[in-house]
Amino acid sequence: MSSTDQGAPGVRITDLGDRPVSDARAPESLSERAAEARTHPVLTIDDFSVEYKGDRVVKAVRNVSLTLGRGEILGLAGESGCGKSTLAYGINRLLKPPAVITGGSAHFHSREGYVIDLNELGGEELRAFRWDKIAMVFQGAMNSLNPVITIQRQMEDIFSTHRPDMSRKDRRMRCGDLLERVGVDRARLRSFPHELSGGMRQRVMIAMAMALDPQVMIMDEPTTALDVVVQREILREITRLRAALGFAVIFITHDLPLLLEISDRIAVMREGEIVELGDAVELYTNPRHEYTRKLLASFPSLTGERGDFIRSGSHAQNGELV
Amino acid sequence: MSALEVRNLVKEYRLRNGRHSSILKAVDDVSFSIDSGRTVALVGQSGSGKSTLAKLLMQLERPTTGSIMLDGAPVRRAGAGLRQYRSDVQMVFQDPFASLNPYHSIAHHLGRPLILHGKAKGRDEVMAGVAKLLERVRLDPDMAQRKPHELSGGQRQRIAIARALAPEPKILVADEPVSMLDVSIRLGVLNLLADLQREENLGVFYITHDLATARHFSDDILVMFRGRIVERGPADDVILNPQHEYTRMLADAAPNPEKRLSA
């Protein structure tokens, strides 16, 4: 297992990138990566729907179709209740009743060339698939570590479950290596979660998600509880590791400026539907859907014109433009 | 013109670790003033001492040394003087899901401060006051009979603002008032605060870690780092032309799509 450390998957990406883009329908404005998503997908979601069958049926995800390219960072933006987390849980088959997948499919395209229909997986297959191929960094990850056992025991759990043949010595080695990869001292293996800062706990969660060298990482609001400086460090870490290891990321957050900075493509979700999907720069400079425009306008620009809106906006209402 | 003035404020906490003890200076020699009709933003990372400073301003903690003065008079620590200070300086908390009591109606939340601070007497007067407060935060007066769980996050935070306005304060301390709200309604709440500040000549102390809104919604910005104010000045100057290394780091850390375009 430790041989995967050497960054071999990274080479694969560049290989794929060199192939000609065959899909003629791809709009010219989309970046190369967006085009690559069509030709070399790692995850394809077709017409995916999820309903919460409670007293009142709620259609949380409505006919969502998405393609995640190999090594791509896809941002999934939307406000609370728009279905973005439900979609992520649905892909990983983590939904619990009353949530039911009512239609559509999700396929995983392994780098080894085979395709897995996620809806068909069950029991042992599903358990083996999760974390190994698609790993997840959960919302509020800071609180999802077990408080009464050490970091080491939680991390070793992954290997004793998914790689039962691994020796204890190798497991220890690997856990330490993983921590170092996310910039945490391996001496921290002996720590309990409460002895780590929020940022460090988040790094541990990312290290755990990377443990089995997954091809897709789903990150559900991984930095929301952190302050901006720590958030910046974590984002750098994610982009660096993505470049080194070649996994694709679905990054879920309501923070559109953050997504615009790190993602290749962005999907904007509202009331269970994807209202706009496009290249990140394109979406920022030329948003097509009204809701995307509204979301973009919700974030004042740090360095842009001050007169954009807000203070001037409310002045304008009173008819006394400043 | 009234002003809240803080001079050489220090708050120390004693940390005990077994037999050893050390002192943490959560707020270290901080001086500034908030004038009516102006918004002052306080920015800094978690743990920089922002909330401790808010607690000191609200008289929820006692300063180790230094003074807080309102309109030139030192703040009383008890009795009628403290009560007067409490009606002059009010606070809006971060989490509107935790700061409203789920058992009580909106009318109760807004009526009680009116009664306690002697702004209204008798049922009719109180209900009229409640309706007026709801109007001031641009909510339907019919909302008075509802309970907090029937309201959205943005509506709840407007209730929290209305509650803070009830004693007719001169200064409003808002500690991360929109960080728990959905992004599309944040600006609405901030715009409301800006309107109130202008219409009622309120002094607003806006505590946040979001530099972009700090810049757009405040006149002056104070940057706090490890209990000290390391930089201060007009909002645009501090953000666009930061002098202190820490301010530069904060500004660089904030997500900024413009950076990607210019790169």
Q: Is the pLDDT of residue B7 over 60?
A: yes
Note whether A303 and B237 are within 8 A (CB). no
Distance in angstroms (rounded) separating the CA atoms of residues A88 and B37: 46
Boundaries of domain holding B235 = 3-94+172-262
Candidates A291, A301, A303, A317, partner chain B, best to mutate (most B CBs within 10 A): A303
Residue B37 covered by a domain:
yes
Q: Is the pLDDT of residue A309 over 90?
A: no
Note whether A284 and A294 are within 8 A (CB). no
Residue A310 covered by a domain:
no
Could you read off the pLDDT of A159-174 as tens digits, one per residue?
999 999 999 999 999 9
Please answer yes or no on whether A299 and B183 come within 8 Å at the CB atom: yes
Residue B104 covered by a domain:
no
Q: Is the pLDDT of residue B87 over 50?
A: yes
> What pLDDT score was predicted for residue A142?
67
> What pLDDT score was predicted for residue A222?
87
* Residues contacting residue B132 through CB under 8 Å, at least 6 positions apart: none
Could you read off the pLDDT of B15-29 as tens digits, one per residue?
887 788 888 899 999
Boundaries of domain holding A101 = 2-299
Q: Is the pLDDT of residue A20 over 60?
A: no
C-alpha B161 chain-centroid distance: 10
Could you read off the pLDDT of A280-291 as tens digits, one per residue?
998 998 999 999
For B192-224, b/e burial (b = at least 16 CB within 10 A) is bbbbbbeeeebbbbbbbbbbbbbbbbbbbbbbb
**Tokens at B222, concatenated:** 């104070």
Could you read off the pLDDT of A50-87 as tens digits, one per residue?
999 988 888 999 999 999 998 899 999 988 888 888 99
Q: How many domains does chain A have?
A: 1
C-alpha dihedral (B164, B169, B174, B175), degrees to nearest 10: -80
Q: Is the pLDDT of residue A4 over 50?
A: no
Where on the phi/psi map is residue A71: left (φ > 0), alpha (ψ -120 to 50), or beta? left
Strands (E), chain B: 3-17, 20-35, 39-43, 65-70, 73-74, 89-92, 171-175, 203-208, 220-225, 228-234
Q: For position A148, which CATH number holds? A: 3.40.50.300
N residues, chain B:
263
> What pLDDT score was predicted for residue A234?
86
> What pLDDT score was predicted for residue A315?
35
Q: Is the pLDDT of residue A303 over 60?
A: yes
Residue A309 covered by a domain:
no
Q: How many domains does chain B have?
A: 1
pLDDT-derived band of residue A157, with 50, 70 and 90 as boundaries? very high
Residue B128 covered by a domain:
no
* Residues contacting residue B109 through CB under 8 Å, at least 6 positions apart: B100, B101, B148, B159, B163
Please answer yes or no on whether A301 and B45 come within 8 Å at the CB atom: no
* Residues contacting residue A24 through CB under 8 Å, at least 6 positions apart: none
**C-alpha pair distances (Å), A185 with each of A175, A189, A196, B44, B189:** 11, 8, 11, 27, 42
pTM of the model as a whole = 0.80
Instruction: Using a CB–CB cutoff of 8 Å, tell me whether A314 touches chain B.
Output: yes
Looking at chain A, which residue has its C-alpha nearest residue B235?
Answer: A306
Strands (E), A229-296: 248-253, 265-270, 273-279
Contacts with A, B 159-188, CB within 8 Å: 182-184, 186-187
Average pLDDT over residues A190-212: 89
Instruction: Using a CB–CB cutoff of 8 Å, tell me whether B213 touches chain A.
Output: yes
Residue A274 pairs in a beta bridge with: A269
Residue A276 covered by a domain:
yes
> What pLDDT score was predicted for residue A9?
39
Residue B10 covered by a domain:
yes
Instruction: Name the strand (E) or helix (H) holding A138.
Output: none
> What pLDDT score was predicted for residue B31?
95
Q: Is the pLDDT of residue A36 over 90?
A: no
> What pLDDT score was predicted for residue A250?
95
> What pLDDT score was predicted for residue A313?
37
Looking at chain B, which residue has its C-alpha nearest residue A297?
Answer: B184
Question: Which of residues A230 and B32 earns the better pLDDT score?
Answer: B32
Residue A180 covered by a domain:
yes
Question: Which of residues B191 and A319 earns the better pLDDT score?
Answer: B191
C-alpha B171 chain-centroid distance: 9
pLDDT-derived band of residue B192, with 50, 70 and 90 as boundaries? very high
Looking at chain A, which residue has its C-alpha nearest residue B215?
Answer: A302
DSSP string, A58-97: EEEEEEEEEEEETT-EEEEE--TTSSHHHHHHHHTT---T
Residue A190 covered by a domain:
yes
Average pLDDT over residues B153-169: 94
DSSP string, B84-145: HHHHHEEEE-S-TTTSS-TTS-HHHHHHHHHHHTTS--HHHHHHHHHHHHHHHTT--GGGGG
Average pLDDT over residues B199-222: 92
Q: Give percent of chain A with pLDDT exceeding 70.
A: 82
Q: Checking DSSP bridges between strand B3-17 and strand A273-279, what pairing results, if any? A: unpaired
Q: Is the pLDDT of residue B57 over 80?
A: yes
Q: Is the pLDDT of residue A306 over 80?
A: no
Average pLDDT over residues A199-207: 88
From the CB of residue B152, how many other CB atoms can be counted at a distance below 10 Å?
13
Could you read off the pLDDT of A95-120 as tens digits, one per residue?
888 899 999 999 999 888 888 888 88
Q: For position B21, which CATH number holds? A: 3.40.50.300
State the smallest CA–CA distance between residue A23 and chain B in angstroms. 27
C-alpha A12 chain-centroid distance: 20
Q: Is the pLDDT of residue A320 over 70?
A: no
Distance in angstroms (rounded) separating the CA atoms of residues A283 and A278: 6
The answer to ipTM > 0.85 is: no
Looking at chain B, which residue has its C-alpha nearest residue A291?
Answer: B184
Residue B119 covered by a domain:
no
Distance in angstroms (rounded) separating the CA atoms of residues B133 and B138: 9
3-state secondary structure of A254: coil
Cα Rg of chain B (Å, integer): 19
> What pLDDT score was predicted for residue A302?
81
Residue B179 covered by a domain:
yes
For residue B118, give the amino acid letter. Answer: G
Q: Is the pLDDT of residue A322 over 70?
A: no
Distance in angstroms (rounded) separating the CA atoms of residues A39 and A27: 14
Q: A255: which chain B residues are within 8 Å (Cβ-Cβ)?
A: 183, 255
Instruction: Using a CB–CB cutoff of 8 Å, tell me whether B257 touches chain A.
Output: yes
